Amino acid sequence: MTIVTTDTSLLSRTGTGLPGDRPQEAVATNTHGLHMITWGCQMNVYDSARMTDVLRPLGYGPVDSPADADMIILNTCHIRDRAAEKVFSELGRLRLIKEERQATGQKTVIAVAGCVAQAEGEQILARAPYVDIVLGPQTYHRLPEMVARAARAGGAVIDTDFPAEQKFDFLPENAAPQTVGNYTAFLTIQEGCDKFCSFCVVPYTRGAEASRPVASILAEARRMTESGVREITLLGQNVNAWHGEAPDGSIWGLARLAEALAMLPGLQRIRYTTSHPRDMDDALIAAHRDIPALMPFLHLPVQSGSDKILKAMNRGHTADEYRDLIRRLRDARPDLALSSDFIVGHPGESDEDFEATMQLIRDVGFALSYSFKYSPRPGTPAAGAPLQIAEDVKDARLQALQALLREQQDAFNESVVGLTVPVLFTGTGRKPGQIAGRSPWLQPVHVDGPESLIGTEVPVLLTTRLSNSLSGTLTQEFARI
């Protein structure tokens, strides 16, 4: 899973000028500045966008600088390392901004959202009493009410319930969707997790697994495509465990949803993340063969290649079962590229176990990977397990693992040089005259080309591999547009 750190000016959306782009709906003009700071996974990026949506009718609009903000939301992540300490240090910085603004008679509401808020709500208010609102990931639809309560009471408001109502039912129907870039968007379809891997906080911070119903997903996807979105990434902590109720009462799986989405006019690309190997069923494997819009790139974290560690992690499959799954996926879609997450130094991991992970990587071949040193999370089973691994051992393993993964990533990027592939252009490149986009395998690609191609998918001859991207040339016919 990609971990992002964004001061989310990217979440602000102004009209793109694209054909089919909708004007911003007429809501209260922005009278209050809202500064959003987003840490963590794509789901937090999505949640930040939705919080921006629910606050817009109250007159809040995005501002780039916290010094201009009447409200600052820090959307936090608890997955690794000293997550809480990082939050308190950022809050210290925000406190100074609040005090400076106070000195000139301006009020600033500070809200802490996301997974640290869920896990450490009370401690946040105890240690940082200048925080006005603490809200968990399941309650952002109640944010307007919390803002009103904070203003009335003058004291702090905390809401870390796992409410019975689904927050998705409270999304403002007509809000122009916030999109990442303008042509690609995240859409959360499933949230929470019941798998309780030994090392992971997510089941505690995001609650039990819940799937959004089909109609609400399709309606949101339609709003996105009508506003110019060409690529949707479906999000879930276990996105392929999604099973949503259709209007006729039947239950759909992800393959069926992808099929329905592929019929939406304007939607050219569908991705989904993060998948769990255990939930990769035959229908979804077949969907990779049958649905061209389903991109040939799959993030399928395996974490370890040792059966002993996979068992200790409670992952529910063996290394060979994973190898077999990859084989079936590649049979269905031969150009499928894979990415994964790895953890080194889980309690009990011997040199032999680590070597089994290296072997799995050599056997499978990954186009991209994220790898982490095991980080004990309070309250999770692995944190209290015997045989914790020394930091220097974790460091050495991580280095060796990352060197191998880097080699594989470079080899994959090299292997596409010389191919002509469709690239969805989403913006301008770094240099003047350049436009940039993504290949089907999520590689950043840039070419010299006209801005009129932004928002479209056109063939590009990939010519050069750079360290983390590719450059290419437009086929002549498009170069002339």
CA distances 400 to 253, 322, 323, 396, 411, Å, are: 38, 22, 21, 6, 17
What is the SS3 assignment for 145-177? HHHHHHHHHCCCEEECCCCCCCHHHHCCCCCCC
Q: Which is nearer to ligand SF4, 314 or 469 (CB)?
A: 314
Give the integer Cα–Cα distance in Å for 315 and 195: 8
Considering only 195-203, 281-289, 408-416, 432-440, which stretch makes contact with ligand SAH by CB under 6 A? 195-203
339 binds, among ligand F3S, ligand SF4, ligand SAH, none (CB under 5 to 8 A by kind): none
Q: Which is nearer to ligand F3S, 114 or 305 (CB)?
A: 114
CA end-to-end distance (rounded Å), the chain: 37
377 binds, among ligand SF4, ligand SAH, ligand F3S, none (CB under 5 to 8 A by kind): ligand SAH
- CB-based burial, 435-452: b 16+ in 10 Å, e otherwise: bbbbbbbbbbbbbebeee
Please report how the helices 42-55 and 114-127 are oriented relative to each other, as an axis angle in degrees rounded to 10. 70
Q: Which is nearer to ligand SAH, 80 or 308 (CB)?
A: 80
- In the list 142, 195, 212, 373, the residue contacting ligand SF4 (rule: CB under 6 A) is 195
Structure tokens belonging to residue 412: 């994959």
- In the list 160, 237, 409, 426, the residue contacting ligand SAH (rule: CB under 6 A) is 237
How many residues bind to ligand F3S according to rule CB under 6 A? Answer: 13
Residue 115 in contact with ligand F3S, rule: CB under 6 A: yes
Q: Which is nearer to ligand SAH, 79 or 133 (CB)?
A: 79
Nearest in space to 49 (alpha carbons), one of 271, 301, 220: 220
Structure tokens belonging to residue 352: 């032999």
343 binds, among ligand F3S, ligand SAH, ligand SF4, none (CB under 5 to 8 A by kind): ligand SAH
How many residues bind to ligand SAH according to rule CB under 6 A? Answer: 18
Give the integer Cα–Cα distance in Å for 25 and 244: 29
Q: Which is nearer to ligand SF4, 195 or 438 (CB)?
A: 195
Residue 221 in contact with ligand SF4, rule: CB under 6 A: no
Q: Which is nearer to ligand SF4, 98 or 315 (CB)?
A: 315
CA distances 122 to 176, 221, 299, 365, 415, Å, are: 34, 36, 35, 45, 51
Please report how the helices 114-127 and 83-103 are oriented relative to each other, as an axis angle in degrees rounded to 10. 60
The residue whose two tokens read 């039990």 is 208
Give the integer Cα–Cα distance in Å for 130 and 224: 37
CA distances 342 to 11, 463, 467, Å, are: 29, 31, 21
The residue whose two tokens read 């069923």 is 281
77 binds, among ligand SF4, ligand F3S, ligand SAH, none (CB under 5 to 8 A by kind): ligand F3S
375 binds, among ligand SF4, ligand SAH, ligand F3S, none (CB under 5 to 8 A by kind): ligand SAH
Residue 213 in contact with ligand F3S, rule: CB under 6 A: no
CA distances 345 to 187, 198, 301, 393, Å, are: 33, 13, 16, 7
- In the list 37, 115, 193, 435, the residue contacting ligand SF4 (rule: CB under 6 A) is 193
Residue 40 in contact with ligand F3S, rule: CB under 6 A: yes
- Binding residues for ligand SF4 restricted to 234-253, rule: CB under 6 A: 237-238
- Binding residues for ligand F3S restricted to 370-429, rule: CB under 6 A: none
Minimum Å gap between C-beta 300 and ligand F3S is 17
State phi, psi for 451 to the nearest 5 degrees. -65, -20
How many residues appear in the chain? 481
- In the list 55, 128, 202, 361, the residue contacting ligand F3S (rule: CB under 6 A) is 202
Considering only 116-124, 143-151, 196-204, 287-295, which stretch makes contact with ligand SAH by CB under 6 A? 196-204
126 binds, among ligand SAH, ligand SF4, ligand F3S, none (CB under 5 to 8 A by kind): none
- In the list 13, 35, 167, 377, the residue contacting ligand SAH (rule: CB under 6 A) is 377
Bond into 274 cis (ω within 30): yes
SS3 content of the chain, % helix, strand, coil (to 5): 40, 25, 40
Residue 233 in contact with ligand SAH, rule: CB under 6 A: no
Specify the DSSP element, H or E, that contains 70: none
Residue 115 in contact with ligand SF4, rule: CB under 6 A: no
Residue 267 in contact with ligand SF4, rule: CB under 6 A: no
Residue 114 in contact with ligand F3S, rule: CB under 6 A: yes
Residue 45 in contact with ligand F3S, rule: CB under 6 A: no
| Pairing state between β 420-428 and 444-448 | unpaired
- In the list 11, 54, 72, 77, the residue contacting ligand F3S (rule: CB under 6 A) is 77
Residue 325 in contact with ligand F3S, rule: CB under 6 A: no
Minimum Å gap between C-beta 108 and ligand F3S is 24
The full DSSP string for 413-450 is: HHHTTT-EEEEEEEEE-SSTTEEEEE-TT--EEEEE--
| Pairing state between β 420-428 and 434-438 | antiparallel
Q: Which residues bind ligand F3S (CB under 6 A)?
A: 40-41, 43-44, 77-79, 114-115, 201-202, 205-206
Q: Which residues bind ligand SF4 (CB under 6 A)?
A: 193, 195-197, 200, 202-203, 237-238, 276
Q: Which residues bind ligand SAH (CB under 6 A)?
A: 1, 79-80, 199-200, 202, 237-238, 274, 276, 301, 303, 341, 343, 372, 374-375, 377
